[in-house]
Structure 1
C-alpha cells in the first residue's frame, strides 16, 4: 500500500465521519444544548421573579406588621382608657357608698339619741311623780297628774 492511498482513504473516512456527525449526532446535541440553555434562562427568569415576589412579600409583611402594631397600640390605649374609667367609676361608687353609710350611721345615732331622751323623760317623769308623792303624802289622782306629767315630759 501506498501512503497516498492510505492518506486518501483516511481523508474520505474523516469526511464521512464529519458528515455523519453533522447529520446525525450534532443536531441532537445542539438541540439538547439549546434546551438546556432555555431551561437555564427560564430558571434564571423564575429566580428573578421569585426574588421580585419575595421583595413584594417582604414589603407586604412589613406593612402588615406596621398595621398590626398600630392596632395593638390603639387597643392598649383603649384598654388604658377603659381601666381609668373603671377605676374612676369604682372611686365614685365607693364615695357614694361611704356617704350613704355615713348618713345611715348619723340617722341611727340620731334615732338612738331620741330613744335615750324618751327613756330619760319617762324616768324623770316617774321620779317626779314619786317625789311628789313622797312630798305630799296625800292622795294623788293618777289621771290628773298624767296630763301634767305628759306636759312636763314634752317640755323636757
Structure 2
C-alpha cells in the first residue's frame, strides 16, 4: 500500500471520528458539564442565601434578646415603683392610724383627768361641807378654826 493512500484514509477516518464525536458524544458530555456547573452555581447561591438568612436570623435573635431585656428591665422598674408606692401607702396609713390612736388616747386621758377633777371637786366639796358642819357645831373660836383648817388641809 501506498503511504499517501494510508494517510488519506487515516485523515478520512479521523474526520469521521471527529464528526461522530462532535455529533453524538460531545453534546451529552457538554450537557452534563453544563448541568453540573449550574448545580454547583445553584449550590453556591443557596449557600450564600443560607449564610445571608443565618446572618438575618442572628440579627433578629439579637434584636429579640435586646427587646426582651428591655421589657424585663421595664417590668422590674415598674415592680420597684409599685413596691415603693405600696410602702409609701402603708407608711401614710400607719401615720394616720398612729395619729388617730394618739388623738383617741389624748381624748381618753383628758376624760380621765376630767373625771379625776370632778371626783376631787366632789371630795373637796364634801370636805368643805363637813368642815363647815363641824365649824357650825362648835362655837366660833379663832384657835378652833385654825385647827380645823389645818386638819382639812391635811385631809386634802
Higher relative contact order (CA 8 A, sep 6+): 1
What does 1:112-131 align with in structure 2 at a 5 Å threshold?
A: 112-131=112-131
Structure 1 residue aligned with 2:35: 35
Alignment length, in residue pairs?
130
TM-aligned CA deviation for residue 16 of structure 1: 9.1
Structure 2 residue aligned with 1:84: 84
What does 1:85-104 align with in structure 2 at a 5 Å threshold?
A: 85-104=85-104
TM-aligned CA deviation for residue 69 of structure 1: 2.3
What CA RMSD, in Å, does the superposition of the two structures yield over aligned residues? Answer: 3.4
Deviations 1:69-112 (A, max 9, x none): 22332333333233223222322222222222112111110010
Structure 1 residue aligned with 2:51: 51
TM-score of the superposition, structure 2-length normalised?
Answer: 0.62
Aligned counterparts of 1:126 and 1:18: Cα–Cα separation in 2? 155
TM-aligned CA deviation for residue 15 of structure 1: 9.6
TM-score of the superposition, structure 1-length normalised?
Answer: 0.62
- Unmatched 5+ stretches in structure 1: 1-7, 139-156
